[in-house]
Amino acid sequence: MAIPGIHSVLDGLWECLAKRGFKARLVSIDHLADLRRELDERYLNGELDEAFYRTYLNHFDFIPPEDMPAAASILVVAMPRPQTRMGFVWRGQKRVLVLPPIYSGFCDVPREAGALLDQYLGPLGFQARPANLPLKPLAAHSGLAEYGRNNLIYVSGMGSFLQLGAFFTDLPVEEDVWGEMRVMALCSACRACLVKCPTGAIPEDRFLIHADRCLVYFNERAPDYPLPAWLNAAASNTLVGCMLCQQFCPVNHPFKGWFDGYVEFSEEETGWLLHGARLEELPETTRERLERVNLGDLIDVLPRNLRVFFPDP
């Protein structure tokens, strides 16, 4: 089979990803050093809380995989993602809670992107391998996205309702773009996220948010991390994570009603989850429903998080 020129390979790649609603950019692998330097500088300047840095930012792999010696580029992909509704019945009352975008399908959707890449690039003699990198600066420097004041990434046609993924590839880069990171123009005249943030994580005096104050920093963690005393229980607005800086953002107006799927737990099942049942103790049907929304791995956080909404377990 004749291998097409790189321009038509890339055109075909964008088309293949676009059919699934994904948008992407390809940058030279030389920018791994830029990504690393940017993060190191913030750390060394004391901009990042030490415990936050050690928990979340110390584990990126700024080198391509050993079995890909010809890696030449990084593909960054934005995948549109909806919210999910979850119903819980307790003491005869049903309460519907939101699961923010990206929790459900967190592994499956990037895996699907990887499979699309394998299917398309493989027969053309190219490879793609998942890359564990700081995804937002990568997306912003590549020109795929702009930052919002809430420090989330916005892509045209998706708002911030998206999951990012990155792949090392051996595709050559002929037109490398690595621009300044940009903030959405609308943010200069808007403070909705800052005002709605329940923990004061979005500051007035600098762009970088105080991630160590973000509700998500606490409610995604293992149960031996109680919610801190300064955190008002009323701040919690979703089962895991938080939606406030996205929900009230005017750029997200077209997407904020986008929900995909509904999963309901009976009173008996809600009781098991509230009381800390382990995954393997649950009946298969309950387990399947949790796993359908990818909460099997987060089952440990559910008793603490559910108790905020059902304080009388």
Instruction: List contacts with ligand B12 (CB under 6 A).
Output: 38-39, 42, 56-57, 100, 102, 134-137, 147, 150-153, 160, 162-164, 181-183, 207-209, 211, 214, 216-217, 220, 241-243, 245
Report in angstroms how near the CB of residue 12 gets to ligand B12 at its nearest.
25
228 binds ligand SF4, rule: CB under 6 A: no
Number of residue whose CB is nearest ligand SF4: 148
- The H or E element containing residue 26 is strand 23-28
Q: With respect to ligand SF4, which residue has the nearer C-beta, 111 or 191? A: 191
Q: Which long-range contacts (CB under 8 A, 24 or more apart) does 280-289 make?
A: 289/263, 289/265
Residue choice 144, 173, 215, 295 for contact with ligand SF4 (CB under 6 A):
215
Partner whose binding site includes residue 144, from ligand B12, ligand SF4, none (CB under 5 to 8 Å by kind): none
CB of 142 to ligand B12, least distance (A): 13
* Among ligand SF4, ligand B12, none, partner that 136 touches (CB below 5 to 8 angstroms by kind): ligand B12
Site track 237-276 with ligand SF4 (rule: CB under 6 A), x = hit? -----x-xx---xxx-------------------------
Answer with the entry of ligand SF4, ligand B12, none that 102 interacts with (C-beta below 5 to 8 A by kind).
ligand B12
Is 27 a binder of ligand SF4 (CB under 6 A)? Answer: no
Contact 170, 9 (CB under 8 A): no
Contacted entry of ligand SF4, ligand B12, none for residue 90, CB cut-off 5 to 8 Å set by kind: none
Q: Give least dist CB 155 to ligand B12, A.
A: 8
**Closest to ligand SF4 by CB, 247 or 286:** 247
103 closest CA partner among 291, 305, 307? 291
> What is the C-alpha separation between 295 and 103, in angstroms, rounded?
8
Q: Out of 73, 148, 269, 270, which residue is the one contacting ligand SF4 (CB under 6 A)?
A: 148
Copy the structure tokens of residue 208. Answer: 């970088």
* Helical residues (DSSP H) of 199-301, grouped into ranges: 215-219, 244-247, 267-274, 284-292
Exactly one of 9, 124, 181, 184 binds ligand SF4 (CB under 6 A); that residue is 184
The residues, any chain, with a CB within 8 Å of residue 207's CB and separated by 6 or more, are 147, 149, 151, 183
Q: What's the 3-state SS for 32-61? A: HHHHHHHHHHHHHCCCCCHHHHHHHHCCCC
The item of ligand SF4, ligand B12, none sharing an interface with residue 91, based on CB under 5 to 8 Å by kind, is none
Tell me 191's DSSP state. -
**Can you give the length of the chain in residues?**
313
Tokens standing for 254? 């077209």
Residues paired with residue 203 on neighbouring β-strands, in sequence order:
none
CA 164 from centroid of its chain's CA atoms: 6
Residue with structure tokens 């809380």?
49
Interaction of residue 181 with ligand SF4, rule CB under 6 A: no
In sequence order, the 6+-apart residues with CB closer than 8 A to the CB of 125 are 3
> Minimum CB separation from ligand B12 for residue 25, in Å?
15
- CB of 23: closest distance to ligand B12 in angstroms? 12
The H or E element that residue 9 is part of is helix 6-19
Binding site for ligand SF4 (CB under 6 A): 148-150, 184, 186-187, 190-193, 197-199, 201-202, 209, 214-216, 242, 244-245, 249-251
